[in-house]
Structures are given as structure tokens and as C-alpha cells.
Amino acid sequence: MTRTGARAPIGVALVFAAMLPAFALHVSIGATAIPLATVAEAFAAYDPTAFDHVVIREHRAPRALFAATVGAALAVAGALMQGVTRNPLADPGLLGLLAGAAFAVSLAVGAFDLLDPAWTPAVAAGGALAGAALVGSIAAAAPGGATPITLILAGAAVTAFLGALTTLALLLDEATFQALRVWLTGSLSAGDRDVFLRALPWFGAGFVVAFALARQVTALALGEEAAIGVGVQVLRLRAFTLLAVVALTAAAVAVAGPVGFVGLVVPHAARLLFGSDYRRIVPGSAALGGLGLLLIDVAARRALAPIEISTGIVTALIGAPVFVWLIRARL
């Protein structure tokens, strides 16, 4: 075992463990601060007549759970994309999946009045898949094929185009605009328990497939020929990765709207901390993504209190400089 290799599982476990105090902090702060002792009580000895307990159990704890799950899902999706495409700039946001999912959901709600949460993850998945396919085919048609550069450019074009369509659709339909305005900026405040429950199987399937594929993703990082040489079924791996990425992205968008940059930044942090083996990067990204979005959501709620900023705005504020740094350092 290598130096990073031997310590990495402990590091990943520590990050997972750190989610507990972050969760408590997240639940404790808000319009009114609730003492940590009361937070603990709300779970240990729930009293439905105590106002703080109800706030915690019904509102704050679910939101913290959404934050951790969405963060983990987007980070794992980004890690898989970066590994399989060998592209350090791969990310559900940059390659059009978030925009596709957001547009599909807006269209379903606006044009077809499809408000039943049962449909949201599936609609988002269809949109994410279409967005990815569009970006992939535009980049593949470029001279030189799908390189990191052409993929990013195609992703930017598709994101801008779908964003414009989404805005247009919402401007024409005031009711939908009001319903989705906050959600579209990537916000956990709009999180809906029914949607989360409907998204849970998508999260679950995505995580299981991601963890199962991790070993093969490391082998594919050797390059396609070497990977075939050691027995990786490259096409099958790519197909399963795409399914996992679409499921995770769709579930995350269904719950919290398009939250950008988590999938780009977190896998790089995981790589710095835990090494280059995807058997560590995937769980490491899940832990760091969950922890990160919990803390970012705390910041989103407290930075300009009592005004709350959308979580997606904060991730963009942090993510954009990191994106610039990545372009300078890695491309």
C-alpha cells in the first residue's frame, strides 16, 4: 500500500464522520438559532408539542439531509465523468446535464402541468441524458473529435441555449415562473419531501453502480488500449457510467435544482486528499460532496441573513475561481 493509499480509507471515514457535526450545525442555525442540546433532544426524545422539535424534524433536518445527499450525488457523478472521459473538466454542469435536466423539468411543469413529484426524477433524467447526448455529439462532430476543449465549448453552448429556452418558457408562463424561480437557481429551500422520496431510488441506484464501477474506472484511466489489455469492457463501462451519472444528476436536480460546480470541484479535492484510485475517489467524493454542500448551505443561509441566498449561487461563487485555476493548472 502506498502512503496515501494506506491512509485514504481512514481519511474518507473521517470526512464521513465530520458530516455529523456539520449536520448538527446546519440544523442548529437558521432564522432562530436552536441550541445543539435541543437538536439532540429532537432526535433522542421527540416532543411533537415542542415548537423547536417540530421545526427541526419537519423542516431543518430534511433540508440538511437533502444537502448532504445532493452534494454526494453531484460529486460522485462528476468523479465518474472525469475518470471515464479522462477529462479533468468533466462535470454534470459543464457538460450540459444540469441544463438539460432543468429545462426538461421546466417544460414538463410549464407546458404539460406535470406537477406530480413522482415524475420529476424521470423527467430530469430524460433531460440530463438528452443534454449529455447533445453535448457529446456536437463535440464529436468537431474537427479533432471530443477533446476536453470541444466538450467544454459544446457544453457551454448547449447550457446557454437550454438556459435561454428555459427562461423564455418561464417568461411566457407566470405561474410556472413563480413555482420554479427559486428551484432553478439551485436551492435547497425549495426541497420537497415527496420529491426526495421519489428521487431516493435514483440516488440509491446511482451510488451502487458508481461504487461497483470504481475499480474499472481506475483501470480505464490507464488509457483505452491498456484498459482493454487488462480486461475492461470499455463500451459497457461507458454505458453503465452514463446511466449512473444521469441517475445521480437527475435525482439531485429533482430535489435541489441545478446546483453547479460541486461535481467539478469536489472530485479534484478528493484526488488531492485520497490519491488517484477511484476506489477511494468515489467514496471520498461522496463524503466531501455531502460535507461540502452541508457547509455551503449553512453559508447560504447565514451570509446575508435574514436574506437567504440560493445554494447554487454560493457553489458558483466558489466553483468559478476553482474552474479558472483548473484550466490554468490542468489543461
Partner 1 sequence: MGDFIEARRPASAMPAGVAGNRTPRLRVRGLSAGYGGRTVLHDVDFDAAPGRVTVLVGPNGCGKSTLLKAMARVLRPSAGEVLLDGASLHDLPTRRVARALALLPQGPTPPEGLTARELVAQGRFPHQTLFRQWSAEDARAVDEAMRAADVAKFADRPIAALSGGERQRCWIAMVLAQETELLLLDEPTTFLDLKGQIDVMRLLRRIARTEGRTLVAVLHELNLAAAFADEIVMMRDGRVRAAGAPEDVMTPPVLHDVFGLDAQMLRDPETGRPICVPRTGPETPA
Residues that bind partner 1 (CB under 8 A): 1-5, 86, 212, 215-216, 218-219, 221-226, 228-233, 271, 275-277, 279
CB of 237 to partner 1, least distance (A): 11
119 versus 211: smaller Cβ distance to partner 1 = 211
124 versus 219: smaller Cβ distance to partner 1 = 219
13 versus 230: smaller Cβ distance to partner 1 = 230
109 versus 220: smaller Cβ distance to partner 1 = 220
21 preceded by cis ω (within 30°)? Answer: no
CB of 13 to partner 1, least distance (A): 18
9 versus 163: smaller Cβ distance to partner 1 = 9
CB of 279 to partner 1, least distance (A): 8
CB of 2 to partner 1, least distance (A): 4
CB of 213 to partner 1, least distance (A): 9
CB of 209 to partner 1, least distance (A): 11
56 versus 264: smaller Cβ distance to partner 1 = 264
